[in-house]
Amino acid sequence: MAGNEIIKVDRLTARIDNQLILSDVSFHASAGDVTVILGSSGSGKTTLLKHLLGLYPSDKNAISVLGKNPWHLPQNEEKAFYSRLGVLYQNGALLNSLTVGENLALPLQQHTDIKGGLIEKAVRLKLQMVNMQEAYNKYPSQLSGGMLKRAALARAIIMDPQVLFCDEPGAGLDPVSLSALDELILHLQKLLGMTVVMVTHEVPSIMRTADKIVFLRNGKLTFEGTVREGIESGNTYVREFFDRAKGN
């Protein structure tokens, strides 16, 4: 595992509508690793992810992503900062009115000075990297669930991000498609040198991909370490999570 802490959370506490969602959460993610945030429904996983993306407010020293707290970024630094992040959303979040190629081109058109033919080349290259060359002129509604996930992944990496955030990337996929998506994410992680932070409850995905797990329960961090350490630990909640998921 890499030693460089590319993401650091320090005693993060969060309330929404006066309800305590996260309480004193601290952990780090190392550069080049896949860090998986997991826990039962309502544990605060998605809230934590949104804090890492700067969508919810946090104390200035509570979060560091690539050395910055995204909530406290000066406006003139936001474009450069977010160009270093990619996000794979649970539902893909592609615009249905645009073709797949147009969806991928949009970030390049909005956030870079790349023009015309070079944008098309970049888009086709990313589609090739996810084995989706034939989808360039298709609309999202014409894609199967697995194809839609791969197209969304291509869009998430279009800017060659340093950090890829994945929110339940395998939701709705059959086991074969889920395994293929996991392998693709790992392949791209190594190919592009990315750090991956993933929220998922899919145990097969966790076992295949995670260098490290961060386990939340009722908004509190209960375990941080490798999958094996979690399973072999005396942490009842972690062991029960994996046992239930395996049907034991």
Q: What's the CA dihedral at 79, 83, 84, 88 to 10 degrees?
A: 130
Residue 195 in this model has a pLDDT that exceeds 90: yes
pLDDT in tens, 47-57: 999 999 999 99
- pLDDT at residue number 235: 85
pLDDT in tens, 229-245: 988 888 888 888 888 76
Residue 247 in this model has a pLDDT that exceeds 80: no
Candidates 157, 175, 161, 197; CA nearest to 45 is 197
pLDDT in tens, 157-182: 999 999 999 999 988 889 999 999 99
Residue 183 in this model has a pLDDT that exceeds 80: yes
5-84+162-245, which class in CATH? alpha beta
pLDDT in tens, 88-109: 988 778 999 999 999 999 999 9
- pLDDT at residue number 41: 78
Global pTM reads 0.90
Return the higher-pLDDT residue of 35 and 247: 35
Q: Dihedral sign, CA of 117, 120, 122, 125?
A: negative
Share of the chain above pLDDT 90, in %: 74
End-to-end CA distance of the chain: 30
SS3 183: helix
Contact status, residue 199 vs residue 38, Cβ threshold 8 Å: yes
Laid out side by side, the sheet with 220-225 consists of 85-88, 163-167, 195-199, 34-38, 212-217, 220-225
Return the higher-pLDDT residue of 110 and 226: 226
Residue-range domain boundaries for the chain:
5-84+162-245, 96-160
- pLDDT at residue number 17: 87
- pLDDT at residue number 232: 87
